[in-house]
Amino acid sequence: MHMANELLSPAVAMGGYVIAGGSVALAARKLRDHLGTELVPLMGVMGAFVFAAQMINFTLPAMAGTSDHLIGTVLLAVLLGPHAAVIAMTGVLIVQCLIFQDGGLLALGTNVINMGILPAYVGYGLWRVMIGQPGKLTIGRLLPAVWSAAFVAVALGAAAVCVEVALSDRLTIPIGKFSMVMVGVHLISGAIEGAITCVVLVALYRLYPNFAPKELNWHGPRLERGRALAAIAIVAVMVAGAVSWFASPYADGLEFAVHEKTHENTPERLKTDNTVAGKVDELQAKYALLPDYGRRSAPLGAPPQKNNETEKAAAVKNSWPNVSVWTSVSGLLGLGLTMIVIQLIARAIRRGNVQTS
């Protein structure tokens, strides 16, 4: 779900930074008030935990080579509270951006919102609401709450990606369809995230009962195992059903979202174009039964004869100021020369350094 710089406009990116920065600052203040210095190593190591836990994947049935893994925000929020989860996820995202180059520098703010703040607060809030009265909490109520929280959190993050992309207007892929596929794919992803989060919690509570909420009625291993397995079975059936609908060799939901687009049929796609050229294309689609995209849009393509005038009008509207051969050639030459000079100077300096040291 990591967004790249290129999908965002500067305004949206800055807005993301402001919102994310404000929320993280608030979370940090809340945490400082509630917990002491003990928190710091815990948070750091938990961030590293999320990082490492994301490497543990498992293959899905029916699709060879497809795998999924935990994102982990809701797991952290349930175990440590939403504020700690926000701080831990923010740290993870900063390191992923600065060290691993996953997610852009400007997109950091929106990534923190999509994968940290929204999942942590909304997921945790939903979980709190669903577990309801603390006194009567059972594992049969806890697990559906956890599953729903994780599921909603992932879907919400995906929806937020769509909103940010739409606001930025950097893609020309129709945003409505992009969103449908993007959210659709992440619904599956969220179902799996929910299932893993449930089973991790059961495993943890069994190993370390002191992690479990104090209110939880812990009846002994036998009953819980039966219920947990029933929950897993339900989730597994749901996941298997949903997955078979969307069977695809793509591992990442985002990639899948884009790939899906190619299968849509032409007329629908053209309807979304409301510019002059879009209408021209619609006309063309009427006359040419099988428009060949690769050829038609090839660089050399002279405009089709029938629609010469409208096409010209569009071309004039979008044309750049006059550019002659020589300005562009000399520009490119100058660029190449500068690069060679930089390379030479750099090499000379480096050699000098080695000799002196």
Site for another protein in 148-167 (CB under 8 A): none
Cβ-contact 89, 73 below 8 angstroms:
yes
Per-residue string for binding with another protein, 189-228, x by CB under 8 A? Answer: ---x--xx-xxx-xxx--xx--------------------
CA 77/CA 123 separation, integer angstroms: 8
Q: Which of 18, 34, 45, 134 binds another protein (CB under 8 A)?
A: 45
Give the containing element (helix H, strand E) for 197.
Answer: helix 175-207
For residues 13 and 6, give the distance between their C-alpha atoms in angstroms, rounded to a whole number: 10
Contact call for residue 169 and another protein (CB under 8 A): yes
- Structural contact between residues 154 and 115, judged by C-beta atoms closer than 8 angstroms: no
Q: Which is nearer to another protein, 91 or 123 (CB)?
A: 91
Partners of 59 in beta bridges: 67
Q: Give the shortest CB-321-to-another protein separation in angstroms.
A: 9
The reply on whether position 9 binds another protein by CB under 8 A is yes
Residues 10-29 as x/- pattern, contact with another protein by CB under 8 A: x--x----------xx--xx
- Closest to another protein by CB, 38 vs 135, is 38
* Segment interacting with another protein, rule: CB under 8 A, options 34-42, 113-121, 146-154, 181-189: 34-42
Nearer to another protein, 31 or 137 (CB): 31
* Shortest distance, position 273 Cβ to another protein, whole Å: 7
Between CA 296 and CA 280 the distance in angstroms is 13
From CA 27, how far away is CA 36, in angstroms rounded?
14
Of 33, 36, 133, 214, the one binding another protein by CB under 8 A: 36
Query: Applying CB under 8 A, does 232 fall inside the site for another protein?
Result: yes
For another protein, give the closer residue by CB, 145 or 196: 196
**Cα separations (Å) of 112 from 40, 72, 95, 105, 325?**
20, 13, 12, 11, 46
Q: Decide: is 288 part of the binding site for another protein (CB under 8 A).
A: no
Q: Which stretch binds another protein (CB under 8 A): 127-135, 141-149, 214-222, 349-357?
A: 349-357
Nearer to another protein, 134 or 169 (CB): 169
- Closest among 167, 172, 232 to 201, alpha carbons compared: 232
42 lines the binding site for another protein (CB under 8 A)? yes
Phi, psi of 230 (to 5 degrees): -60, -45
**Residue among 48, 167, 216, 223 that touches another protein (CB under 8 A):** 48
Within residues 120-149, the interface with another protein by CB under 8 A covers none
Please give the distance of CA 187 from its chain centroid, rounded to a whole number.
13
| H/E stretch holding 79 | helix 73-80
Name which of residues 59 to 118 contact another protein (CB under 8 A).
59-61, 69-70, 75, 79, 87-88, 90-92, 94-95, 97-102, 104-106
Q: Does 303 bind another protein (CB under 8 A)?
A: yes
User: What does the CA dihedral 304, 310, 312, 316 come to, rounded to 10 degrees?
Assistant: -150
CA distance 216 to 142: 8
